[in-house]
Homo-oligomer: A and B are copies of this chain.
């Protein structure tokens, strides 16, 4: 069954995507084959294009088609302010929210001894270089509010201390629309201890 060999291989690759298992990969592949001209071929083309052109920005680690990404390259972004994120997905989340107008620095992960991710695997030296080179006055650590994220935040803060730059972190508390009854104890404790005058 020669048709099946390629299709099986395709299903195998699709099943390795996060959020897809063997069953949904099969459905997705059949869907693509049925929509050959409108979906399968455009998808193949776009994947090839992205694979050929997209790489990491040499400055911040964001995805880019050139050496320097559009955000680092933009004259419209506020200078002197760097938001440190773990991953490009987090950078996208910040951009979607349209609340930050400075530049980013993608660490490329969090410290995780169990996964064998140490300080050398994160892009911290480059961040230190940028603080001097770009005249940065504040670094915002926008890392996930998880144990790994916060451990990494502390480590980065320590590493940046000698530069004298102001370092801040995202506020923790009750999310907008959050109902107290559904919040975990940690969030309630953080929200209470960081309470503000009304």
Contacts and interface: CB of A to CB of B under 8 A. Distances in A.
Contacts of A4: 63, 70
Nearest to A31: B18
Interface string A30-74: 111100100111111111111101100000000111100111000
Contacts of A14: 43
Interface in A10-37: 10, 13-14, 16-20, 24, 26-33, 36
A7 interface: yes
Contacts of A66: 2
Interface string A131-151: 000000000000000000000
A6 interface: yes
Among the interface residues A14, A27, A36, A43, which one has the most CB atoms of the partner chain B within 10 A? A43
Interface string A169-181: 0000000000000
Interface stretch (A85-93, A113-121, A159-167, A185-193): A85-93
Given A19-B20, A41-B51, A46 B3 contact: no
B19 A32 contact: no
Interface string A87-101: 111001000000000
A72 to B, nearest CB: 11
Interface of A: 1-4, 6-7, 9-10, 13-14, 16-20, 24, 26-33, 36, 39-51, 53-54, 63-66, 69-71, 87-89, 92
Given A6-B49, A17-B32, A48-B48, 18 more contacts: A1-B70, A2-B65, A2-B66, A3-B70, A4-B63, A6-B46, A7-B54, A9-B46, A10-B43, A10-B50, A13-B46, A17-B31, A26-B89, A29-B50, A30-B89, A41-B48, A41-B51, A44-B48
